[in-house]
Amino acid sequence: MTAIAIDRARLLSEIEALATISDAAAPAVTRIVFTPTDLKARAWLKALCDEAGLAVRHDAIGNIFARWIGSDPSAPVVGTGSHIDAIPNAGKYDGVVGVLGGLEAIRALRQSGFRPRNSIELLMFTSEEPTRFGIGCLGSRLLSGTFTPDTARKLTDKDGSALEDVRRSAGLGGELETVVLPSNYYKAFVELHIEQGPILERQQIPLGVVTKIAAPASLRVALEGAGGHAGGVLMPDRRDALCAAAELILTVENAARTSGAVDTVATVGICHVFPAAVNSIPSRVRLSVDIRDTDLARRDAVMAALETAWRSISTKRQVAIHSELVNADAPADCAPAVIEALSQSCKKHEQKFLSMVSRAYHDSLFLARIAPVAMLFIPCHNGYSHRPDEYASPEDVARGTLVLAETLATLSA
């Protein structure tokens, strides 16, 4: 086996090429699952994997598997990968670095003369982003058995199209029951990803080895007040749903700020106001709430405190507040053996690294329910992500891919 060499020019060219398969004009990237653009990107990726000599298949939800068959095909697989779907007006690196970097890592290992005992498999997850069906990590939830096929079949997009109809129109046959992976499918799984935060760049550390992955609880909140003419209803008589929502939003922020831990974060990302007229008192508001932490008990304590605060707001403002829990996923601890393999790979290539937590959640969160996992982060400029100016340097992309390749070799030897 010769030294592992990453073809940086090829990898960067492929990242740029994939960015052009988009429903948004450059530099923005938009790829919503099962749209014609997403299907074009999937076909492009499959062609790359075929060209690399990998055995390619997909399952009933569209997860794509590309396998380099090892000397013991019956042994558990060593996996790597991420996603290529992108929220509206996103960037070109989120998820993509893990997919195309994973492919390049496999190609580099083959070029070096390495021959794995355990098969090495690239996995592109379907719909890591919640854009179309309202729930993230759809493919990995089904793979890991943490989301039932019956629940998935009830999902619809904003146009009312059912997931079942959409996936079949995309050419995906078979039943969703077949998606769940058998026990002990993976020996280990490693996901390469941009940090989506500023810590590595601020500390000038080139790599992050993830030890914990935070998980969100997502809620939909509806507030019902009373409308009326902006000039005709006096202030003592008002039941303004938007004023109540404003107070509620600030309680969400305060609950996260006062949890006692920096790893607690909370966001209200959607606010729909009815009737949305300049001279009409808002009678109805719809909010989305996202609460995340690496500690399940602490996150759930924040949620309980919010429920208490919202009851108080409801009583004081005479506005009805109803909340619906969309999902409440448990955080995950990364596997010591996979963390150690990543750490030793960093040391072998004389790369400084930081042990850290992932405050964004990823498909690896759900793979951790059924397999030993860990993640490798590379810096992104200013911590920007989910925006067109998301950026990771060529050096960082290549460095992360090299350490990923070394780790895959260690785990599959």
Count of all residues that appear for the chain in the document: 413
Which CATH number is 8-214+331-412 given? 3.40.630.10
Asked if domains 8-214+331-412 and 215-328 share a fold, the reply is no
Topology of domain 215-328, CATH: Alpha-Beta Plaits (3.30.70)
Q: What is the pLDDT of residue 275?
A: 98
Comparing C-alpha atoms, which of 54, 42, 107, 200 is closest to residue 408?
Answer: 107
Instruction: For residue 314, give both structure tokens.
Output: 């409801």
Beta-carbon contacts of residue 208 (< 8 Å; ≥ 6 apart): 195, 199, 200, 353, 354, 355, 356, 376, 377, 378
Judge whether 59 and 178 are in contact, CB under 8 Å.
yes
Angle at 149 between CA 146 and CA 153, to 5 degrees: 125
User: Which residues, in sequence order, are bridge partners of residue 189?
Assistant: 79, 373
DSSP 156: B
Q: What is the pLDDT of residue 183?
A: 87
Mean pLDDT by 10 residues, the chain (413 residues): 94 98 97 98 98 98 98 97 98 98 98 97 97 94 96 95 97 97 96 97 98 93 98 97 98 96 94 97 97 94 94 98 93 97 97 95 95 98 96 98 98 96
Judge whether 70 and 118 are in contact, CB under 8 Å.
yes
Burial (CB count <10 Å: 0-12, 13-18, 19+), residue 289: buried
Q: What is the pLDDT of residue 412?
A: 97
Judge whether 211 and 331 are in contact, CB under 8 Å.
no
The full set of domain ranges for the chain reads: 8-214+331-412, 215-328
Q: Helix 296-317 and helix 241-257: axis angle, to 10°?
A: 150
The pTM (predicted TM-score) of the whole model is 0.90
